Structures are given as structure tokens and as C-alpha cells.
Amino acid sequence: MRTLHRLVAVMGMALLPSWAMAVELGNAEVGHAFAAKVCADCHDVEPGGEAFSPNPDAPSFQEVADTPGMSPRALAVWLQSSHPTMPDLILSTDEIDNVIAYITSLRTPR
């Protein structure tokens, strides 16, 4: 019985890395490419936020990433809600996940 418990524990640890990867949200590289194509008309989407957004009312993605309390869930809600100053974009789940992955990758370490 003890051997069975050890076997289950070892198998569980072997599966842990794949489980951890499964909870990662989207692909930041794909999200960056999407943002450069779709969002850059209004937002500065590049890392560092050193350029100004083409639309002065549109925050840079860096500013969004560094907003206190900005979580992947908050970004998902924001991306799925209409805003008066934004075009009414309908993004797929994968597009949302990729953009969120990209924005969260920009966070400045504190």
C-alpha cells in the first residue's frame, strides 16, 4: 500500500508542470502581434510605454499593465465590455487570452 502511495505521489509530481502550464493564460507573443495590428491605431502597445498613444485619451498598454489592481480577470472584463471611446470589437476567447497574456507580461516588477 505504501508503494502505491509513493507511486501516486511521483505521478502527481510528474504531472504538475503540465498542470501549471495549463493555467497560464494565452500566448503573449501572439497577443503582441494582435495588439500591434488591431489596437495600435489608438494605443501605444509596445513595451516600456515610451511612445505616446496615437489617441491621447487611450492609455498605453504599459500603463494598463502597471495599473494597481489590474488582474487578468479585470482585463478580461474590460476587453469584453464596450467603452464609449473604443470601437466595438468582438474578440474571440483566444484573442482575449493572448492580449491579456501580453499586457500582463509588460508589468513592471515592484
Average pLDDT, consecutive stretches of 10 residues, N- to C-terminus, the chain (110 residues)? 40 41 77 96 91 90 96 94 82 96 94
**Is residue 69 a part of any domain in this protein?**
yes
Counted domains in the chain? 1
Q: 488591431: which residue's cell?
A: 38
Answer whether residue 10 is part of any domain. no
CATH of the domain at 89: 1.10.760
Q: CA 66 to CA 53: how far, in whole Å?
A: 16
Residue 110 lies in a domain: no
pLDDT in tens, 43-73: 999 999 888 899 998 999 999 999 999 999 9
Q: Can you give the residue range of the structural domain that contains 82?
A: 26-105
Q: What's the pTM?
A: 0.75
Q: Please say whether the beta carbons of 72 and 104 come within 8 A.
A: yes
